[in-house]
A and B are shown apart, each in its own frame.
Chain A
Amino acid sequence: MSEASGRRGREGHIVLYACKYTPVELLRGFGATCELAETDVSSFDEADRLAHANLCGYGKALIERMMASDAHEVVLVSCCDVVRRVYDVLAREGRLDFLYLLDLPHKRGEAERRLLRERLADLARSYSAYAGTSFDAGLALAGVEPFVPRTDPRVTLLGAHATPPLLEAVERDLGGAVENATCTNRQLLVSPPPELARATSESGCDACEGRVGADPLEAFLDWYVGALLDQTPCMRMDDVAAREALRGGTGRRGIVYHTMKFCDYYGFEYGEAAREGDVPMVKIETDGTSQSAGQLHTRLEAFGETLHGTEVAHEVAAKRGAGTRGTYVMGVDSGSTSTDAAIVDGEGRIVASVILPTGARASESAARAKAEVLERAGLEETDMTLKVSTGYGRDAIPGMDTSITEITCHARGAHELAPDVRSVIDIGGQDSKVIHLSPTGEVVNFVMNDKCAAGTGRFMEAMARVMEMSLDDFCRTGMAWKHDVRISSMCTVFAESEVVSLVADDTPTADIIHGLDESVARKTATLAHRVNAEPPYLMTGGVAQNEGVVKALTDVLGAEVRTHPDSQLCGAIGAALLGLESLR
Chain B
Amino acid sequence: MATESIGDRVIGWYGNVAMGSIDTNPDFVRRWLMTGFRLMTEKGKIAPDGRLYRSGQMGNAIFMDSVTRALGDKGGAVFTSIFCPNEIFHALGVHPATAEAVASFASGAQAESGFISFAEGRGVPETYCSYHRILMGMATSGVISRPLMLASTSAVCDANNLTFKTLARHWGCDHYYVDVPIDVTRESVLYVADQLREMAAMAQDCCHARLDEDRLLELCACSMRTDRDLMRTLPARRGRYLANSMTIDEMQMLDLHLMLGTPEVERMVHQMAQDYNQAPRYDGINLVWGHVTPYFVQPIASRLNTSQEAQVVASDMMFSHMPPDEGTFFSAERPYEFMAERVVRNCFNGPATRRAETLRRLADATDADAVVFFCHWGCKQTAGAAQVVRQVLEDAGYPVLVLDGDACDRANCMEGQMGTRFSAFLEMVGAQREERRLERSIR
Contacts and interface: CB of A to CB of B under 8 A. Distances in A.
Contacts of B353: 88, 91-92
Interface stretch (A177-185, A315-323, A481-489): A481-489
B181 A103 contact: yes
Nearest to B384: A85
A488 B166 CA distance: 27
A529 B158 contact: no
Given A85-B381, A105-B179, A486-B1, A264 B159 contact: yes
B123 A507 contact: no
B196 to A, nearest CB: 13
Contacts of A498: 1-2
Contacts of A558: 23-24
Given A261-B127, A497-B414, A501-B415, A106 B384 contact: no
Contact of A112 (B120, B179, B391, B412): B179
Interface string B373-388: 0010110110111111
For A55, A484, A498, the residue with the greatest tally of chain B CB atoms inside 10 Å of its CB is: A498
Contact of B377 (A54, A105, A238): A54
Contacts of A507: 2
B75 interface: no
A379 interface: no
A399 to B, nearest CB: 41
Given A1-B183, A103-B181, A238-B177, A497 B387 contact: no
Interface string A85-99: 111110110000000
Contacts of A484: 16
B182 A497 contact: no
A497 B385 CA distance: 28
B183 A106 contact: no
**Binding site secondary structure of chain A:** helix
B179 A264 contact: no
A145 B194 CA distance: 36
Nearest to A490: B411
For A49, A52, A262, the residue with the greatest tally of chain B CB atoms inside 10 Å of its CB is: A52
A529 B375 contact: no
B125 A267 contact: yes
A30 B287 CA distance: 50
A504 B2 contact: yes
B171 interface: no
Given A80-B158, A505-B2, A507-B2, A59 B182 contact: no
Interface string B223-249: 000000000000000000000000000
Given A494-B414, A526-B117, A268 B166 contact: yes
Size range of the chain A interface in the assembly = 35 or more
Given A106-B179, A525-B121, A264 B158 contact: yes
Interface residues of B, number: 60
Interface stretch (A9-17, A18-26, A269-277): A269-277
A502 B2 contact: yes
Interface string B34-74: 00000000000000000000000000000000000000000
B414 A501 contact: no
A78 B161 CA distance: 14
A168 interface: no
Nearest to A92: B388
A16 B179 CA distance: 26
B158 A81 contact: yes
Contacts of A101: 182
Contacts of B430: none
Interface string A232-271: 0001101010000000000000000001011111011011
B165 interface: yes
B183 A103 contact: yes
A271 B122 contact: yes
A59 B384 contact: yes
A78 B182 contact: yes
For B16, B125, B194, the residue with the greatest tally of chain A CB atoms inside 10 Å of its CB is: B125
A543 interface: no
Interface string B154-166: 1001110110011
Contacts of B351: 1, 84, 87-88, 91
Contacts of A504: 2
A82 B404 CA distance: 17
A56 B379 CA distance: 11
Interface string B87-126: 0000000000000000000000000010001101111110
Contacts of B416: 497, 501
Interface in B170-214: 177, 179, 181-183, 187, 191, 194
Contacts of A418: none
Contact of A55 (B120, B377, B383, B411): B383
B120 A526 contact: yes
Contact of A271 (B3, B113, B124, B181): B124
A268 B415 contact: no
Given A238-B165, A486-B12, A55 B380 contact: yes
Nearest to B163: A268
A51 interface: yes
A372 to B, nearest CB: 41
A497 B388 contact: no
Contacts of B120: 526
Contacts of B177: 106-107, 238
B365 interface: no
For B128, B162, B380, B391, the residue with the greatest tally of chain A CB atoms inside 10 Å of its CB is: B380
Interface string B336-367: 00000000000000011100000000000000
B303 interface: no
Contact of B384 (A84, A264, A265, A272): A84
Interface in B372-431: 375, 377-378, 380-381, 383-388, 391, 404, 409-412, 414-417
Contacts of A491: 411
B182 A103 contact: yes
A528 interface: yes
A88 B2 contact: no
B360 to A, nearest CB: 15
B2 A530 contact: no
Interface in B1-29: 1-3, 12, 16, 23-24
Interface of B: 1-3, 12, 16, 23-24, 113, 117-118, 120-125, 127-129, 154, 157-159, 161-162, 165-166, 169, 177, 179, 181-183, 187, 191, 194, 351-353, 375, 377-378, 380-381, 383-388, 391, 404, 409-412, 414-417
24 contacts: A53-B383, A54-B127, A54-B375, A80-B158, A81-B381, A84-B351, A85-B383, A86-B384, A91-B351, A106-B154, A115-B187, A238-B161, A238-B177, A261-B127, A263-B127, A268-B162, A272-B166, A486-B12, A488-B113, A488-B410, A488-B411, A501-B416, A530-B122, A558-B24
Interface of A: 1, 49-56, 59, 78, 80-82, 84-89, 91-92, 101, 103, 105-107, 111-112, 115, 235-236, 238, 240, 259, 261-265, 267-268, 270-272, 274-275, 484, 486, 488-491, 493-494, 497-498, 501-502, 504-505, 507, 522, 525-530, 558
